[in-house]
Amino acid sequence: MTELATSVAPGTEVPGRIYIYKRYERFWHWSQALLVIVMMLSGFEVHGSYHLLGFELAVRLHTLAAWLLLTLWAFTIFWQFTTGEWRQYLPTHKKVAAMAMYYSWGMFRGAPHPFKKTVQKKHNPLQRLAYLGLLAMISPLIWGSGLLYLFRAFWPSLGIDQWLTLEWVAWAHTAGAFMMLTFFIVHVYLTTTGHTPLAHIKSMVTGWEELHDDAHPTEAPATPPQGS
């Protein structure tokens, strides 16, 4: 029934499933994932970690992926604020301890998931904190250092070269890259913690979240089909 995902509204339920993720949301997620992977592969080659594409091609690919990702983010920020989806990322302290216990212990013992995913609340408390760290620390470090490196020629006219060195910028960018790699690995691992290893990935492809007795959304009543 994946074809229904193009013609139903978020919150619409069919037997055993609920439509959670909108079309643009899924497009943005997978486009961002692809660009981040390209940037990590090309970036670590520029860093000298391995030789695959060649230095010059890796630099061009890394720069192109960076500009494409910035463009994607610009459209996504506009979409987030015009649809109200930005509220999905507001941090909360509720059930943080419960989620930590579930990920570290409960899920290995078959405990029920303490968070009930709904259209209004797609991210659990730990996910919200992780995204806050990504937006508040990792992204500024990577993009700030990357743009400084890219526009190195303008440092003298701005007086930046008086107190900042290229070596420090490179170290900051590398540190941010390793933080992003860690975030990416953890994110991919957590996608396997659904009721099946591919359940979360499938829902981000189709838009439909499968319902279970211990994870039935209670805050998203069914709505009639309409365009999403």
Q: What is the pLDDT along the chain (228 residues), one digit of tens a residue?
A: 444 444 577 667 677 788 999 999 999 999 999 999 999 999 999 988 889 999 999 999 999 999 999 999 999 999 999 999 999 999 888 889 999 999 888 888 888 888 888 888 899 999 999 999 999 999 999 999 999 999 999 999 988 988 999 999 999 999 999 999 999 999 999 899 888 889 999 999 999 988 765 444 334 443 433 444
* Alpha helix stretches (DSSP H) within the chain: 23-46, 55-83, 96-104, 125-133, 139-150, 155-158, 166-190, 199-206
What pLDDT score does 213 carry? 53
What pLDDT score does 174 carry? 94
Contact 203, 29 (CB under 8 A): no
What pLDDT score does 130 carry? 92
Distance CA 34, CA 86 (A): 22
Cα separation values, 184 from 90, 178, 181, 190, Å: 21, 10, 5, 10
pTM of the predicted protein model: 0.82
Cα separation values, 100 from 84, 120, 121, 126, Å: 27, 22, 18, 7
φ, ψ for residue 19, nearest 5 deg: -85, 115
What pLDDT score does 12 carry? 73
Contact 105, 114 (CB under 8 A): no
